[in-house]
Amino acid sequence: MESNKIAIAALLFIILIVAINFAMYGIARGATKGSDSRWMGALKDSLSKPMDSSANKSMDELRKQIAELENKEKKE
């Protein structure tokens, strides 16, 4: 009798977790469907962009200088 109650409680807990996951999926899906919603794109861009450190800043300067030199060579 006691094991039946535990099994029913475990089953209800699993069903509750699955239902909450479906609700959260629906909320997230609805939030991203909006035309003004760009938070997913902004999140993806921020995660894919490297951290701004001094090494990255100096590499950006080097890239800019190389691009300028390449543009000068193309003009000549």
Question: Tokens for 44?
Answer: 């993806």
Q: Is the pLDDT of residue 14 over 90?
A: yes
Please report the pLDDT score of residue 36 as a whole number: 58
Question: What domain range includes position 46?
Answer: 2-75
Average pLDDT, the chain: 81
Q: Is the pLDDT of residue 60 over 80?
A: yes
The 10s digit of each residue's pLDDT in 23-59 is 988 877 777 676 556 766 766 666 666 666 666 777 8
Count the domains in the chain: 1
Please report the pLDDT score of residue 47 as a whole number: 67
What are phi and psi for residue 37, nearest 5 degrees?
A: -85, 110
| Residues above pLDDT 70, as percent of the chain | 67
Read off the amino acid at residue 5.
K
